[in-house]
Chain A
Amino acid sequence: AQRVTQPEKLLSVFKGAPVELKCNYSYSGSPELFWYVQYSRQRLQLLLRHISRESIKGFTADLNKGETSFHLKKPFAQEEDSAMYYCALRGSGTYKYIFGTGTRLKVLA
């Protein structure tokens, strides 16, 4: 079965501290993995995708196929990073998009 698991509902860190939002997935095949972000009063939007291997707003995520994980990391958190973060999986073939339950990141001053 396709599943995306985000174990933390809430993660609070101080400004300047490192951040790691965890994501594990279950999928038989080769999915694409994404992180989406929702800032307050804004729509859900793409943050980054594993295929691009890029850093967006200082965030990076590495796909670990052995551990079926796609954790989101940032070395120094900023207050403007406070938002809801969703890990998502897009299946090959049907392109079905599945989301995790989300992690609320709060960056404290």
Chain B
Amino acid sequence: EAGVAQSPRYKIIEKRQSVAFWCNPISGHATLYWYQQILGQGPKLLIQFQNNGVVDDSQLPKDRFSAERLKGVDSTLKIQPAKLEDSAVYLCASSLGGIQNTEAFFGQGTRLTVV
């Protein structure tokens, strides 16, 4: 089966600019996650969707980050305006969801560098 697709793979922007990342989950996966992984750290959950509804966004810096999952399929994560500390790999993952289907499948990630 096709895996989780993310684009772009790499992005370099200046601080205060805006940027958007795109994620296409595995077909049929109801749950979608966005993670931020700063160098040397583990993935930090930013937002979790169940279909097109937000389940958890407690760690999303809402003053600058936003995410949406229209129609419960693709998702975009936006940063506006970017700060230097936003430099990280942004990972998208999806899961079938529910009690039985627990595995999360990850995309390759988008490496963001803010200069």
Q: What is the interface of chain A, defined by CB distance below 8 A to chain B?
A: 4, 6, 9, 32, 34, 36, 43-46, 49, 51, 86, 88, 90, 94-102
Contacts and interface: CB of A to CB of B under 8 A. Distances in A.
Contacts of B45: 96-99
B97 A43 contact: no
B72 interface: no
Contact of B102 (A44, A49, A100): A49
Given A34-B102, A99-B43, 19 more contacts: A4-B42, A43-B3, A43-B108, A43-B109, A46-B104, A49-B102, A49-B103, A86-B42, A86-B43, A90-B102, A94-B56, A95-B97, A97-B45, A97-B48, A97-B93, A97-B104, A101-B41, A101-B42, A102-B41
Interface in B77-115: 91, 93, 95, 97-98, 102-109
A105 B3 CA distance: 26
A contact face: mostly helix, strand, loop, or mixed: strand
